[in-house]
Amino acid sequence: MEAVYGDSRSQHSTWRDFLIEDPIKFDSYFKFAFTRDPVNRCYSAYTYLKKGGRGPLDLYWIDRHIKKYGSFDDFVLRGLEGAIANSAEHFIPQHKFICDDAGKVLVDFVGRVERMQEDYQHLADRLGITAKLELRNATEEESAYVASAKVRSTIRRLYHKDYEILGYAH
């Protein structure tokens, strides 16, 4: 966020939020998003919230959807579906941020966290951004986590449209 916008504020806004705010800008601006493999994204969101998140809304989601589960696996198997159903912002399927109800991608560029450096460079070139991308908020435990077949299967089922629309391998 900082390399593109000059600050580190995060927002979980959908394409609809931007369209409602200013339809003319929405139609004329270059729109982009970065997506992430659903298993890695889900695990990252869970560990972020487990560590306290940032702000009152995160505390609400922690209290409502995270703290009662002793592990990520337990959360996925018994709580993730409810978190998604209640629109817990960190667990909303990614396609809902960038696609209409028919599954049409409404942004001009979709980058991937898995190839962040290359996709950021493409975006920077397109937008004339000279700031370098700095790695922030990376955790060692994310790379150490290996999801069980049951956890992967549950995430694939709950995020099946992300897998289909965004082209992540099943």
Helix/strand/coil for 131: coil
Helix/strand/coil for 60: helix
Question: pTM of this prediction?
Answer: 0.84
Within 10 angstroms of residue 100's Cβ, the number of other Cβ atoms is: 12
Within 10 angstroms of residue 72's Cβ, the number of other Cβ atoms is: 20
Within 10 angstroms of residue 19's Cβ, the number of other Cβ atoms is: 13
What does the alpha-carbon distance between residue 63 and residue 83 come to, in Å, rounded to a whole number?
Answer: 11
What does the alpha-carbon distance between residue 142 and residue 14 come to, in Å, rounded to a whole number?
Answer: 26
What residue segments make up the domains of the chain, in order of their start?
A: 2-166
pLDDT by residue for the chain (170 residues), tens digit each? 344 444 445 567 889 999 999 999 999 999 999 999 999 999 999 999 999 998 898 999 999 999 999 999 999 999 999 999 999 999 999 999 999 999 999 999 999 999 999 999 999 999 999 888 887 656 555 566 888 999 999 999 999 999 999 998 86
